Amino acid sequence: MSVIIELYQQLIIDHGRRPRNVGELAEANYIKDGYNPLCGDQLRVYVKAYDGVIEAVQFTGQGCAISTASASLMTQCLVGKTVEEADAIFKAFHVCATEGADPSQYQEILGKLVVLTGVSEFPARVKCATLAWHTLQAALHDNQDCVSTE
Ligand code: ZN
């Protein structure tokens, strides 16, 4: 196993066990529930954003290690980003995680999220990794609760 893959797995395990930014965000102005029926992952994503800039993101819920790690890493990478930047990160992550696009092309935009793009090789886990992001998109862009369907 390569050192890189081992490091990636360490990061996923670390965030899966000790997720960051967990808890209700009292001052959130966007809140959305997400559910992945395939695995049973349930998340609630809280976003505080003003003038198109994300100031804080937190989440609550129960899920597998992959969904928890993905939500944790997502909350870390979004603070200070504009909604447009968050959309661009989502698109890059999505195309790598679901379609197997080469993540090295998106290294700059993805940062640490690269560790989760390996799920593209495990179709059953893709929804786990993308749930937090679909829920974020739903929170920022529409009013329907998110049931991950891809
Ligand atoms: Zn899962």
Q: What is the 3-state secondary structure (H, E, C) of 75-96?
A: HHHHCCCEHHHHHHHHHHHHHH
What pLDDT, in 10s, does the model give residues 99-145?
Answer: 999 999 999 999 999 999 988 988 889 999 999 999 999 999 975 66
Distance 105 CA to ligand 1 centre (A): 26
- Residue 17: C-alpha distances to residues 66, 99, 101 (Å): 10, 27, 28
Q: What pTM was computed for the model?
A: 0.92
**Phi, psi values for residue 41, rounded to 5°:** -70, 130
82 bridge partner residues? 53
What pLDDT, in 10s, does the model give residues 24-49?
Answer: 999 999 999 999 999 999 999 999 99
Distance 66 CA to ligand 1 centre (A): 6
Distance 68 CA to ligand 1 centre (A): 8
- What distance in Å separates the CA atoms of residue 24 and residue 60, rounded to the nearest whole number? 7
Distance 50 CA to ligand 1 centre (A): 31
Distance 127 CA to ligand 1 centre (A): 7
